[in-house]
Amino acid sequence: MENQLEFQLAVIDRSTTKKRVEEALEKYRIMLLSQDADQLPKITQTYSLIPPTNTNKFHSSTEDAAINNADYDRYRRNYIKKISMAVNKLGYKERAILILRYMTNYETFDYQVFTELHMSERTYRRIKSQAFYKLAFVLRIEAYEEKKGISNEFCAANS
C-alpha cells in the first residue's frame, strides 16, 4: 500500500464554471431568436471622391452580405445543434430544468420552473447544479481553480 502513487485531481472553480454555462445557454437563446436584418446588403448608392482601383476584389456589397449571412447561419446552426445535443445527454430531470429555464423563447424564473415540475426548491437547485456541471464537462467549458504555479490550461489538459 505504501508504494501506491498519489495524484491530485484539479479542483473545479464553481462560480466561473456556472457563469460559463449560463453564458452558453444565454447565447443559445439569442441564437434562436437572432434575426439577419443587421446583415442585409446596402441598397443605397454611395459616391466616393477616390477613383476606383483595379484590384482583385470581385465581390459587391451584396455578395459580401450573402457570404456573411451564410457563414453566420452555418455558425448559428452548429452552435444550436451543439448545445441541444449536449443537453440531450443529460438525465430527464436535468434536461427538463435546463429546457424550461434557459432554452425557451420567453424568460422564465427558477420559482416558475420548480413549481411546474412539482419539486421543492432545494431539490430543484441540487439537480440544476448537477446539470450545470455535467453540461460544462460535455461542452468542455469547465473552469479549474489555480494551483500553486499551475495554470487552468495545465489543469484542464491533465484532468
- What is the mean predicted confidence (pLDDT) over 63-71? 79
Predicted pLDDT at 41: 46
- What is the mean predicted confidence (pLDDT) over 91-118? 93
| Helices 14-33 and 61-88, axial angle in degrees (round to 10) | 130
Reported pTM: 0.70
What's the mean pLDDT when you consider all of the chain? 81
Tens-digit pLDDT profile for residues 21-60: 999 999 999 888 875 544 444 445 555 566 666 665 655 6
How far lies 4's CA from each of 14, 16, 108, 142, 155, in Å?
A: 30, 33, 51, 29, 22
Predicted pLDDT at 53: 61
Predicted pLDDT at 37: 46
Tens-digit pLDDT profile for residues 74-100: 999 899 999 999 999 999 999 999 999
Rounded Cα gap, residues 137 and 54, in angstroms: 51
Rounded Cα gap, residues 94 and 135, in angstroms: 10
With 0-12 CB in 10 A as exposed, 13-18 as middle and 19+ as buried, what is 6? exposed
Predicted pLDDT at 42: 47
Predicted pLDDT at 159: 47
24: CB partners within 8 A, 6+ apart: 83, 135, 139, 141
Q: Where are the domains of the chain?
A: 14-34+59-157
Nearest to 103 by CA among 81, 71, 129: 81
Beta bridge partners of 150: 147
